[in-house]
Structure 1
Amino acid sequence: MFLANKGNSVIKPERLQPGVTIGVVGPASPMIKSRLKKGLHYLEERGYRVKLGKHVFDEDGYFAGKDRDRAEDLNQMFRDPDIAAIFCTRGGYGSPRILPLIDYELIKKHPKILVGYSDITALQLAIFTKTRLITFSGPMVAVEMAKGMEPLTEYYFWQLLKDPERKIVITTKHGIKFLKPGKVRGHLLGGCLSMVCSLLGTPYVPDFDNAILFLEDIGEEPYKIDRYLTQLKLAGILHRIGGLILGKFEDCKPSSRTAPSLTLERIIEDITADLPIPVVTDFPYGHVDIKFTMPVGGKVLIDSEENKVEFEEAAVV
């Protein structure tokens, strides 16, 4: 068995306590107000107080406000001692634009739970790169919390944030498959494939050496998925990681039924053929209803002999 990232310390945020205040911010695209209202009601029904970022209702084209305002809302939530955790409204696009405006030293001094996925991937990877804080790639307020979460999604989301004693194990019973066998431990890094690729060549890309890379995406044609994965391979990322977890690639189909294409399965097999690492596919994560929340920077075990992926170390304290 290979032990990845041995000795590298991380910052774990404080567990989510009953009745605390959750800050809500929009680092990316504007949300639909009625959906946000439903999501806030969901949190309040669970006994939490909520506090909205000052600019959460702003709109500036496809952004939820000006770059400086979106960044300052996030900084302020980390600065505010009354805020115990920070949940994002939705994804879309915009997180990469605010990365230079984030106060990473502030985050180091006041680490908190941060939840989001999709475009928020850029923010989460940047925060881990600069601070080593574990964040959570999971449900968002104006998306899953607004429309109602699937029971499995909801249960494991709250367990991950609230219970540091519980180990979460995902097995073949949950539909995962092992394309390539192996056993490895490492820090879990990744998120939306296109967003991971967008950080390459920037100061915000994390050290992927011996990490467990997890990926998903939505609405990208097969040739684009091929291009992104090829970029990761040519950049040396896929040759440096200890393991690969591939989630759901929702609506990633050819735009034309008549145009020649490859299946996603074929693309993944081609790209990973020469990689001497365990590869997991069909992992329940991504732009889908049934999914596990992923602790970005948390410790994970892949074990094909036991047919499992295990979050074997608490992501909160």
Structure 2
Amino acid sequence: MNRKHFLRSLTLAGASLPVIPSIPALAAAEQAVSSEALPAIPPYLKPGDTIGITCPAGYITPDSIKPAIQQMESWGYKVRPGKTVGMRDFTFGGRDQDRFQDFQEMLDDPSLKAIMCARGGYGMVRIIDQLNFSGFVQQPKWIIGFSDITVMHCHLSANYPVASIHSKMCNSFPDDWSKADPLQQDTILSIRRALSGEKMEYKTPPSAFNRMGMAEGLLVGGNLKTIESLSGSASSINTKGRILFVEDTGEYLYSIDRMFWNLKRAGKLSDLAALVVGGFKVKPDDPGEEFGRTVIDIVMEKVKEFKYPVCFDFPVGHQKNNFALKCGVIHQLTVGTEGVELKEKR
């Protein structure tokens, strides 16, 4: 997405988008939100606060996180790498026990105000049930990451309602900030804006395939394959009355179709406030095994009986234009003829 199409809250102040309002969706969302306790919002960071870095999934080297450390320190924060940075057990950032202990120590450490996961990959689901969140619930802090870290976002939403940040991680920070293009810089700076308490607000160009309307609700979601894999577990995501966002990478179209069927059959699509479809990097079909449907076809087939707004090509996912989103925070989505606006409400 071209940077001129991405506008921050100051740029969007006073902007309006012609829409077809979805009043029932708004009413349902307000009823759903009012009938349950809102997730806790961790304290926003101030200069001098400390961010921990840990590897609950894939491994990363100490050198690979240096750009992230330098950048976050330039924002006025202190950064403390965990014990798993530099550890490796094949694809993992250390053994399960190592990753569990490192994450647990950071959850329990009152001097840390945020935990940034160094990278995704695979591994969070192997330790999630061992983690004790009792201290974290009493003194919540921001947990940051995406991809495999969707496990954490969903687990918090389902069990310990605390807001978290879906965003790029250490392995996405540019080696040389001065040479990074504006879009890459803006995505990284969106993490700073989220951590500092700025109300996040995004505007994207229209898509001919969008379904127009307005909706309000808690924002939940993440990597589609990971959400599917958690179905029926203690980390299964609650989507009722919520704005769900999804993204994925490296999957065949038939696999994406199967994932959306899982969501539909599990009732995860029936009571949404809205659906936000982010980036999908599709694996090419094998010759002679063409699926014959696009991601848009797949999605619209599953939601055709519902009336809530749907938007495509939102700037979130395994791509350069992957902006920070606050999971578990109330947002308003407006899908109009001139574009899409997603803004944090409170």
Q: How does the TM-score come out when normalised to structure 2?
A: 0.83
Q: How does 1:1-317 map to 2 (within 5 A)?
A: 1=23, 2-3=26-27, 4=29, 5-7=32-34, 8=36, 9-144=38-173, 150-163=184-197, 166-173=198-205, 179-250=210-281, 252-261=282-291, 262-305=293-336, 307-314=339-346
Can you list the C-alpha shifts for 1:224-255, whole angstroms capped at 9, x where unaligned?
Answer: 111101111111111122210000012x1324
Shift of 1:18: 1.2
Kept in 2: contact 1:211–1:243 (CA 8 A): yes
Kept in 2: contact 1:139–1:145 (CA 8 A): no
Q: Which amino acid aligns with 1:117?
A: F
User: The residue matched to 1:57 in structure 2 has which SS?
Assistant: coil
Shift of 1:19: 2.5
Shift of 1:177: 6.3
Q: Which amino acid aligns with 2:140?
A: P
User: The residue matched to 2:217 in structure 1 has which SS?
Assistant: strand
The gaps in structure 2 that reach 5 residues or longer are 1-22
Percent identity, aligned pairs only, is 30
Kept in 1: contact 2:60–2:87 (CA 8 A): no
User: The residue matched to 1:142 in structure 2 has which SS?
Assistant: helix
CA change 1:177–1:50 in 2 (3 A) is: farther
Kept in 1: contact 2:61–2:86 (CA 8 A): no
User: The residue matched to 1:123 in structure 2 has which SS?
Assistant: helix
CA change 1:168–1:44 in 2 (3 A) is: closer
Kept in 2: contact 1:12–1:133 (CA 8 A): yes
Shift of 1:196: 0.5
Choose 7-16 or 305-314, whichever is displaced more. 305-314
Distance 1:146 1:106 in 2: 35
Can you list the C-alpha shifts for 1:145-186, whole angstroms capped at 9, x where unaligned?
Answer: 5575613213332212213xx44332244x666621222111
Choose 89-98 or 101-110, whichever is displaced more. 101-110
Shift of 1:258: 4.8
Q: Which amino acid aligns with 2:194?
A: L
Shift of 1:54: 1.9
CA-atom RMSD, angstroms? 2.0
Aligned twin of 2:14: none
Distance 1:42 1:142 in 2: 12
Q: How does the TM-score come out when normalised to structure 1?
A: 0.91
Can you list the C-alpha shifts for 1:13-55, whole angstroms capped at 9, x where unaligned?
Answer: 1111112211001110112443223322322333322112123
The gaps in structure 1 that reach 5 residues or longer are none
Choose 28-37 or 233-242, whichever is displaced more. 28-37
Kept in 2: contact 1:178–1:304 (CA 8 A): no
Kept in 1: contact 2:57–2:120 (CA 8 A): yes
Q: Which amino acid aligns with 2:85?
A: V
Can you list the C-alpha shifts for 1:280-316, whole angstroms capped at 9, x where unaligned?
Answer: 11100001112221111111111224843333334xx
Distance 2:135 2:118 in 1: 22
